[in-house]
Structures are given as structure tokens and as C-alpha cells.
Structure 1
Amino acid sequence: MELDDQSKYNAVRRLTNTESVLRNPHFPSKWKIYWLDDFFFKEYSADLSALLLKKMSEKEPLCFFHIGARRYEVDFTTMTQTRVSTGFQREIRCRPSYRSPELMQPHLKTGIQFDSAHPDSCAAGANFSIDPLQDFDSWYPPVWLQEKVEEYRLVDVPAGTLAYQSIKDLFHQSLSESQMDVISIQQVQNLLHWDKYQRQKTHMQKRHTEAQGPLERHLFHGTTKEASEGICINNFDPRMAGPNGQDYGFGSYFATKAFTSHSYTEAMNSDEPGYMFLAKVLVGSVCLGKHHYRRPPDSKGHVYDTCVDKMHSPEIFVVFDSCQCYPYYLIKYKNLPAEINLHG
């Protein structure tokens, strides 16, 4: 919280409104508490956060808690967390929860103009009241337009719809609303590559068992604006694996968390918008990847479908066949301005 021009004012501070739902039913303040992990503030777990906020509301100066065998002390007067056995301290912060413009819009009398990468995209005929991340029985997703005139198109998903909110919530699970603002979400409708993906899914379903885990996952893929246009037209291409795709094999890389994919976008180190796909990926049977793999290895006559970074709760999946992935949605987002950063 710094002033660029101090000729008129010498300080700036945050203001919040009441927490009472009765006094302010639309915008009551909701608080979150964070701890500093080296360079970034991270939110405490839900249970621990509830405990700390309760102690703060009761004007308690100290709060003790355990994580495993480690005992910690939180001092609300100095806003520090101390590991009791070592005395090592970290800063903590308590901040009001960020409200995105989309959540505020229904309660405002003045409108909010949302940026859209393709304002002329026609969404008529699409059913955005369906969660696109749920299973469906039809060949084409029920949230798609029904006309099959064009081979390829991008369709804006209206803010506030179930489809929009479902994808946005998944994105914000690892990239907080207080850090990133979603500008637009678009359906990628490419009939050629969707048909290839569905045929591959039908083929893999015949030999896939539930014991192997889910056949299909929704995973993130960060990229540049220029590369995103090519992916929408030509799909992900494992043959293009380069400096960003060699740790676990020469293929197309996907992540379970948007935070992981964020590092491969233009928004990582600049104020430029970031472009990230939420992809459908047929992971099938998985094995541990190696940097020299150009396809999954064989195992007793069986070829694995996908390589991963670790066998237990993998976070990165690598596919070597473009038929196993599809660029389902394109998310455009940006870094939020510094005035709502936690370091203030």
C-alpha cells in the first residue's frame, strides 16, 4: 500500500465494511488469513483458518495449534507465526476476501463492462446451464452450439452461467481470485479434432478398468497467445515438444493445477494476459515418465497410455498421441493490480 504521488496525501490504507449479513446483506466482509511461504502468502487450511479467525474475533492475543508433531504459536499483536521448537517465525496477514466483478454485478445498479477477446462470438443456441465438467451421454457436449456449419469456432461463455462458474472455480483452486482475474472463457469447437478424440475415447474404454483410475481428466495447459491460436485449429501436437516438455518425455504436457501451467504463460513475468487451456485428456493407464521417452513404455505386452511425474497423486500428465487430448476451453486472464496484493 504505497502512494505514487505524495504531494497531496502521505498515506493510504484499506477500508472494509461490516461483517454483519443483516446490516449489509450484499457485501459483508469475509476474512481470510494467510502465512508467508518464502515469497508468497498462502491461505491456511479451512479448519485452521476458522480457528485463527475465531481467536481473533474473541480478541485473544495468542493461538496455539499443531500440524502433525509440530507445535506453532500465532501472535496476533505482532502478526507472526512461530514454530515453538525452533523459534522460526513467519509473517501472517488477515485480509478481506476478494470479490470478483462477476460476483458483484447482480447487486450493483451500475453495470460492469467485461473485457471479451471475441465480442462478436455468437452464443445463441448453446446451453450454458449445464456443467461442462460433468459426464454426458451425447457425442458432442450439450454446452456446444448445435449447428455444425463451421469446422472450427470459439464461443464466449457468458459470465455468471453455470458453465462459466464451474471452469472459473477450478481455475481459482490454485490461482486465487485475489491474484488473478479471469477476463474470458471460450468454448473451443473443432469438429475434426473432437471426433478424433471421441473415437479414441471409445477405443480406450474397451480396455480400461476403474482400478486404473479415471480414464478421462480435465487438465490445464498454459501457453502463449500466438500458440493458443494454433492449438485451437490444430490441437495439441506432441511432436512440438521442446524446452518446456522433456522432463517426463517428448509429448504434450498437462497439469492438475492452474498454478503449474501459469508458469508457461506470458502472464508469469509480465502484465500481459495469460492464456490457458482447460483440456480433456484421456490419461488411461499411467507410468512414471523419463526424459528420453518418445512414447509410453511396454509392460508385458501392454503399452501404457500416459506418463506422469509421480505415481501417487500425479500432478503432471504427458500424452504422446494428439487423439488423447482436446482443447476444451480457453481461459484468458490477467494479474490483478498491486493495490489488492497481500504484501500491502
Structure 2
Amino acid sequence: MSSDVIQKLPSIYRNMYAIQNSKGSKHDTEDNKPSPCKERKHSSSQESTSISNEVEQICLYHLYTSCVFEDKCIRTHFHLPYRWQISDGNTWKDLENMEELEKEYCDPNNVRSARPISKLGFIFSYISFVDMQSGLKKVRRLSTASSVTKPPHFILTTEWIWYWEDEYGVWREYGKKDSDHAAATVSSDDLEKAYTAGSSTKLNFKAGVHEYELDFGAMTQKNLRYRTERKVCRRPKFVSQSEVEKIRKRGFKNTEEFKRIPSHWDKSALPELGFKLIDLDSSSEEYNKVKGDFQRTMPKTQIKRICRIQNPSLWELYQWQKDQMQKSNGGKTDERFLFHGTSKKHIDAICHQNFDWRICGLNGTVYGKGSYFARDASYSDAYCREGSCSKTMFLARVLVGEFTVAGLSRVSHRILGPGMCKNAVAAKQVITMCSSNKHYICLDVTEESDF
């Protein structure tokens, strides 16, 4: 290397640093000013994007107490509701000072981390919150599910705050009034619900006498009369590690107000988290209704016991999902009682955390990937693969949407979107479900097996 080049190296490194880590100045033009928010990317594959989003979610069960799926859980197990990682090209590695980094990210004024995360010669690498990179390395933030996608009693979900940038460069929260601006007719929760639903890329609202259009893809809002545009930002509400510990000790919110617990449930067996099995009396109406449905297609099979599964947390989640579907479908829902067969090794996990087709739906993919539910017990019986003297299957409440016939190994709800998760085969009345929010396991039926 020549002496001329060596003399220019410090200048070259300084220029590289300025390009990679510039925060912009107040003299930047509006068009060139970096936005602290990443634009929403639209994937060409809804299926792969949805699965990827679940993989990048932190498991709420593990965060609160424990996850019965353990290392088979598709979600990430971590001790915080957020996790910052950097890629080395092959694997994701945890970053240091995660809580400090999270606090910086939660402030909409920040377009990059305050401190460099690495140093190479004269080059300091910061994290860009705009494109989630540090130099040439990719950075990602894992988090728990958005608070608007879970019932209110769930703890440690991620609360997202939506901001817009005013004419003075100040970030204002939606739905909040200040001395210079009228409050928008939409709040952070309203925008988050629309954003996570993904059914539309734009949303109209008002603020005072003005009408606006918010573009989720470009992360901008436009005044429909004057055509002026403002930047929009979505950032999480900061939660420190000490706050996480306090919330965990405090437990679920308002568990004493669980909605619409069925009147026939045993009120002395309602755990905050988890389930209780209640043996049904063989002379009860509840028992004989299930027995009749079961033996309609399996008349020669003897039933050993029928248990009601009382899981208040899952029941609340199911009722909340039912409410959401009613709101989006004009008050209508299609709720059915259907059978589900599985291996005995999955029974306890299902009773705790509901069906997860990636773990409990591995016995077949004839009608697409998902948890199979059937009108006929005889169909579900084929999935109870046990070599003992008894088998167990579930009877579940299932919320279904529109019919579609999916191809082999296709994840059916990726076609229809949220709330419409059904692949029906008319002759057998088989329904494939992919969302755990849309079914509640009511009972388990233990039958005598013929081997």
C-alpha cells in the first residue's frame, strides 16, 4: 500500500463512519430527514411471513411461568418481553445492554442507538432503528405478542404507541390533544388493531375539522384537503427488567372478572393459570349429550370417562376471539362442537395451552397443515395412536370462517387470513384450524380400545 493511500486512511474511515451512522441534522430537508420508523414490508408470501412472525415472538407462557411445549415451542423462550440480536451471517447472537437499548428504541426521537455496539479500527458501529442494521450486519428485535391481539387480562404483552411528527418536528401520540393540535379520532390501540389485522394498507380518520389518510406501508399520514404529509412512527412502551419481575409476581390482570364462565362449571376449580379436570357424572345431561355425539359414528365403543376441562385463561381467550369475529362479521359467528384425536403425550400440553398444530398436529397432513377437527368421532379416532387399552380424544368448541379446499401440505388460514381458518372436506366434514385462539377444549373422552 502506497504512503499516499496510508495518509488518506483516517479521512476515508471518518467518511465511512459519517455515512453509516449519521443521525441527520436540523438543516436536513424534510424529504431527506431519516424517519425513526421502519416502513412496513409486504411479503410476497403471507404464509412464510406469518410463520416467521410467530418464530420471532417471545412465548408469553414461558415469560410468565413455564411453557409445557418446552424446546418444541415455535416461539422464543426468554426472560424479557423483548430481545435484541445481531446476525453474524449464520446465527443470531444476543446484544449486550439490552434494557438500555430497548429504552432508546422506545423513544420516537431516536433513529439510532446512542452508543456504538462495536468498533473496528476507526469505525464505530451503531444500530440504525430505521433499517435495523449495524453497519452491514442485520439486527432484529423479538418481542411478545401485541397487546391488542390478546385479551386484557394477559400480562407482558407488548403495548405499541403510535406517533405522528408535527410541523415542528415533535412526535405526538395519536388520540392525545395538545395546545396546538386537536386530538385524532383514532388512538394508538385503534391503529395497532388495524395494523396487526393487515386487512387494509390505509386508514382514514379526523382531527378537528381535518380529514387524514394514514398509509401503513409508507408510515405517513396525509391531509386529504391540503395534501401535506407527516411521518408516522410505531414504538413499544418501555418496560424495565424490574417492572417485568413486579408484573410476573402480580400475575394476570383482573382474573376475578373472567367473562362468562359457564354457569355449570365447578367454581371451586378455577385456577388462574392452567386447568382442572372435572369428571362428569354418567347420569348428567352434559355427559349423555357427548356420549350420544361420540357413539353416533362409534356405537360399539365403550366410554370409560368423560372429563370437563376447566381452563379459565383459555376460555377468556376464546371468548375474546369470538367477540372480535362477531365485530368483524356483523355479529355472526359459526361455532361448532368437533372432535380432535391426538397422541396421549400431547394431552396435558393441550389442556394447558390449547392446540398447536406444529406440535400436536403431526399425525397427518392429508388436508393441509393444521389441527384437524371432525364432526365424526370415528374420523378423529384414527389419530389417537396408542398401544394401550384406552384412547383419549377431545371435544372442542371451534370458531370457523369461510370454506376453502386447500392443497396438500398447505396452511389453510394463510389463504383466508385471520378469523377465516378452515379447510373443509365436505364428505368427511374435516376442518383444519391453524390459530389456537379459535378453539376451546371443552371435554376429553377416554374410550376403551380394541387391540
Give the alignment's TM-score, normalised by structure 1.
Answer: 0.50
1:274 alignment partner, one of 391, 405, 418: 391
Note closer, same or farther for the CA distance 1:287–1:303 as it changes in structure 2 (3 Å cut). Answer: farther
Q: Where does structure 2 lack aligned partners over 5 or more consecutive residues?
A: 1-258
Mapping for residues 320-335 of structure 1, pairs under 5 Å: 320-335=434-449
Question: How far apart, CA to CA, are the structure 1 residues paired with 2:381 and 2:280?
Answer: 21
> 1:247 corresponds to which letter in structure 2?
V
CA offset at residue 228 of structure 1? 1.1
CA offset at residue 293 of structure 1? 2.4
CA offset at residue 314 of structure 1? 5.7
Equivalent pair of 1:273/1:335 in contact (CA under 8 Å): yes
Q: Where does structure 1 lack aligned partners over 5 or more consecutive residues?
A: 1-137, 338-344
1:308 alignment partner, one of 406, 413, 423: 423
Q: Does 1:261 align with 2:376?
A: no
> 2:400 corresponds to which letter in structure 1?
V
1:194 aligns with 315
2:289 aligns with 166
2:264 aligns with 143
1:208 aligns with 329
Equivalent pair of 1:278/1:329 in contact (CA under 8 Å): yes
More contact order relative to length (CA 8 Å, sep ≥ 6): 1
Indicate the larger mover: 138-147 or 165-174: 138-147
SS in 2 for 1:229: helix
CA offset at residue 195 of structure 1? 1.0
Question: How far apart, CA to CA, are the structure 1 residues paired with 2:377 and 2:428?
Answer: 14
Question: How far apart, CA to CA, are the structure 2 residues paired with 1:243 and 1:277?
Answer: 16
Equivalent pair of 1:208/1:284 in contact (CA under 8 Å): no
Question: How far apart, CA to CA, are the structure 2 residues paired with 1:192 and 1:304?
Answer: 20
Q: Does 1:229 align with 2:344?
A: no
Equivalent pair of 1:287/1:304 in contact (CA under 8 Å): no
Equivalent pair of 2:412/2:432 in contact (CA under 8 Å): no
**Identity value in percent:** 29
CA offset at residue 191 of structure 1? 1.5
Equivalent pair of 1:305/1:319 in contact (CA under 8 Å): no
Question: How far apart, CA to CA, are the structure 2 residues paired with 1:288 and 1:181?
Answer: 34
CA offset at residue 298 of structure 1? 4.4
CA offset at residue 190 of structure 1? 1.0
CA offset at residue 206 of structure 1? 1.9
Question: How far apart, CA to CA, are the structure 2 residues paired with 1:149 and 1:244?
Answer: 31
Equivalent pair of 1:208/1:215 in contact (CA under 8 Å): no
> 1:308 corresponds to which letter in structure 2?
N
Question: How far apart, CA to CA, are the structure 2 residues paired with 1:309 and 1:215?
Answer: 13
1:318 aligns with 432
Question: How far apart, CA to CA, are the structure 2 residues paired with 1:198 and 1:262?
Answer: 28
2:404 aligns with 287
CA offset at residue 266 of structure 1? 3.6
Note closer, same or farther for the CA distance 1:189–1:296 as it changes in structure 2 (3 Å cut). Answer: same
Question: How far apart, CA to CA, are the structure 1 residues paired with 2:390 and 2:360?
Answer: 23
Note closer, same or farther for the CA distance 1:242–1:161 as it changes in structure 2 (3 Å cut). Answer: closer
For each residue in 1:260-302, what CA deviation from the matched residue of structure 2 results, as whole angstroms up to 9, or x when unmatched? 01111146xx552010000111112221122232342446xx6
> 1:257 corresponds to which letter in structure 2?
D
1:217 alignment partner, one of 336, 341, 345: 336
Question: How far apart, CA to CA, are the structure 2 residues paired with 1:149 and 1:228?
Answer: 18
Question: How far apart, CA to CA, are the structure 1 residues paired with 2:347 and 2:353?
Answer: 10
For each residue in 1:9-67, what CA deviation from the matched residue of structure 2 results, as whole angstroms up to 9, or x when unmatched? xxxxxxxxxxxxxxxxxxxxxxxxxxxxxxxxxxxxxxxxxxxxxxxxxxxxxxxxxxx
Equivalent pair of 1:306/1:320 in contact (CA under 8 Å): yes
SS in 2 for 1:261: helix
Question: How far apart, CA to CA, are the structure 2 residues paired with 1:313 and 1:202?
Answer: 30
For each residue in 1:89-111, what CA deviation from the matched residue of structure 2 results, as whole angstroms up to 9, or x when unmatched? xxxxxxxxxxxxxxxxxxxxxxx
Of Structure 1 and Structure 2, the greater strand share is in 1
Equivalent pair of 1:220/1:255 in contact (CA under 8 Å): yes
Note closer, same or farther for the CA distance 1:193–1:245 as it changes in structure 2 (3 Å cut). Answer: farther
Equivalent pair of 1:246/1:291 in contact (CA under 8 Å): yes
For each residue in 1:74-121, what CA deviation from the matched residue of structure 2 results, as whole angstroms up to 9, or x when unmatched? xxxxxxxxxxxxxxxxxxxxxxxxxxxxxxxxxxxxxxxxxxxxxxxx
What is the root-mean-square deviation of aligned Cα atoms in Å?
A: 2.6
Question: How far apart, CA to CA, are the structure 1 residues paired with 2:440 and 2:419?
Answer: 19
Note closer, same or farther for the CA distance 1:171–1:279 as it changes in structure 2 (3 Å cut). Answer: same
Note closer, same or farther for the CA distance 1:295–1:241 as it changes in structure 2 (3 Å cut). Answer: farther
Note closer, same or farther for the CA distance 1:303–1:149 as it changes in structure 2 (3 Å cut). Answer: closer
Give the alignment's TM-score, normalised by structure 2.
Answer: 0.39
SS in 1 for 2:395: strand
The structure with more radius of gyration: 2
Note closer, same or farther for the CA distance 1:315–1:209 as it changes in structure 2 (3 Å cut). Answer: farther
Indicate the larger mover: 163-172 or 232-241: 232-241
Note closer, same or farther for the CA distance 1:217–1:234 as it changes in structure 2 (3 Å cut). Answer: same
Note closer, same or farther for the CA distance 1:242–1:218 as it changes in structure 2 (3 Å cut). Answer: closer
Mapping for residues 63-142 of structure 1, pairs under 5 Å: 139-142=260-263
Equivalent pair of 2:304/2:446 in contact (CA under 8 Å): yes
Equivalent pair of 1:273/1:332 in contact (CA under 8 Å): yes
CA offset at residue 185 of structure 1? 0.5
Question: How far apart, CA to CA, are the structure 2 residues paired with 1:256 and 1:231?
Answer: 19
Of Structure 1 and Structure 2, the greater helix share is in 2
SS in 2 for 1:250: coil
